[in-house]
Amino acid sequence: MVRIPSSKVRRDFAETVNRVAYGRERVVVHRRDEDLAALIPVEDLALLEELEDRRDIREAEHVLEEAKTKHERPIPWEKAKKRLVHKG
């Protein structure tokens, strides 16, 4: 992973994007030595999103199992959505 100042990224944006897209580099953009953002290849983003989905599924399974042990019934999504819409 490489750190590049935001001023250089702004000046050389196309080159930086090409490094990420074609060179598969990860770039951390910083200003005054503070990291601001990261540019990553699309494949890395897809992997991050897949990992987040897996984590969400595990959490949902845990919550459902916990509800089952307490003999609670989950609220169907459509019913929960109606409640949320009416509160907003």
pLDDT per residue as tens digits for the range 5-14: 999 999 999 9
- Report the pLDDT averaged over residues 13-36: 98
Give the C-alpha separation, 11 to 7, whole Å: 6
Find the domain containing 81 and state its range: 44-87
Instruction: Give the count of domains, the chain.
Output: 2
Q: Report the predicted TM-score, pTM, of the whole model to 2 decimal places.
A: 0.69
* Assigned token pair, 40: 């990553």
- How far apart are alpha carbons 11 and 33 in whole angstroms? 18
Please tell me the predicted confidence (pLDDT) of residue 85: 87
- The whole-number average pLDDT for the span 70-84 is 87
- Shared domain for 31 and 60, answered yes or no, is no
Label residue 43 by pLDDT band (50, 70, 90).
Answer: very high
9 and 35, same structural domain?
yes
